[in-house]
Chains A and B, each alone.
Chain A
């Protein structure tokens, strides 16, 4: 890794970061992607289900296949990817401090930075929540789909968003059992089609229920479930015990926005999208000049929209560097926005679109062209 001739540093080699890198490299920018993990792709390679949307959004293609083609695209276009590289600081002059896989410390000096750091899963507090076997649903999904390891014979899933529903199905595909899926809210959070798939397999979906506590000495051995009333209070006498060896927690994600905070850019708070988020304009540029964001860092959605946001940031950063004429960039960006808006429709999508529009409304106008 050298610091000469890098136009754009992308931090995070997940769907958003790879898409940003591909787009910027296509337009002739010298792009370096840094990722702390020892493999690229972010969470795409554990997504063994087919994606939704239209043909434009690679619908019907499984997540890992999308990951493969993104990696091939990035490589073909000449964006470099440095793995095992931890970015631990971004300074006010936009220098990027990195520790490489071989423990070297570097200060890089890119012209533009695209933050595509993703999100991490939320924890849930209850007695026993620290016992070995209580894992984030994403961790279970990684173990099952990527490493082919089933943590336990029987799992309790907590949370009925798409993550909870999909991972429940994938535990079943892998030969495991899902004793129950509990959801504190009175209705299922995710898509009906995912819920129907696990219902057909006989997984009980208990809305208005939560996990009261988890038992075990050195590992999860069982859990007590409890019904909740309309004010989310436990209903006395409704407890029931189940035997399980794993509890998967699927109660939302929080954007990994530490680096954006370091850049001093403006944030907003939108619980629906994961909490505190860096705002950005229609180019995905934050209020800190030359710092762009894409994907879950600026609102937790799905890989499909993360990829489109990445493409947008990549085009905009290349345009800001003069690699593409504004008129041509406008056409390219408009096409991405059309695809993004198409993803943000329907019962769930419209709410995300409204929330995302609050972000751009707050982020616009920071940079007078």
Chain B
């Protein structure tokens, strides 16, 4: 029975079916299964499958987004039980606030990164496009995030990525949040120049950067940034 419930949970994520994800999560609670185990052996396995399919060109952005939504629904149902077990922190890799910076209305790059982060075990809060620097920080504070991620496709919006760091420093919060930057014109050199904590060339790289940051245990803003950038120079 336990295996069947975990299988149902896995399938609900793979099928991007929020209703089934909620039902399977409720079944987890009714059957007295550890919510952490349900997430790790059920829902997360489903996310792995979606992530692998995306990398192989067999699943696409809508599936990533909807699977992330289904995962969020699972967390919502299991949240109380997880807290009771004292395992909330073990269930997710970290909370990420992600957005496209001021003056930029492009969203697809940010959406891909956000969706991939969600299917890789991060709790993601997408704060949209054309976001002011201070809003990134305020949202991160409000939501208790550990990582701030900013995206832009425009060279003329890149200065706003620097403004986020500046705001963090000026408000005395630079050591509270890891800050990663990405987008079409963003380079390793730029990430280093503005003293970001990380940068990835592709969306998959961004996820890897966030994983390494979340597991690093280092104080934000105090170490050499983690850069995954393949352009040879």
Q: Please determine whether chains A and B interact with each other in the same assembly.
A: no
**Chain A positions near chain B (C-beta within 8 angstroms):** none
**Chain B positions near chain A (C-beta within 8 angstroms):** none
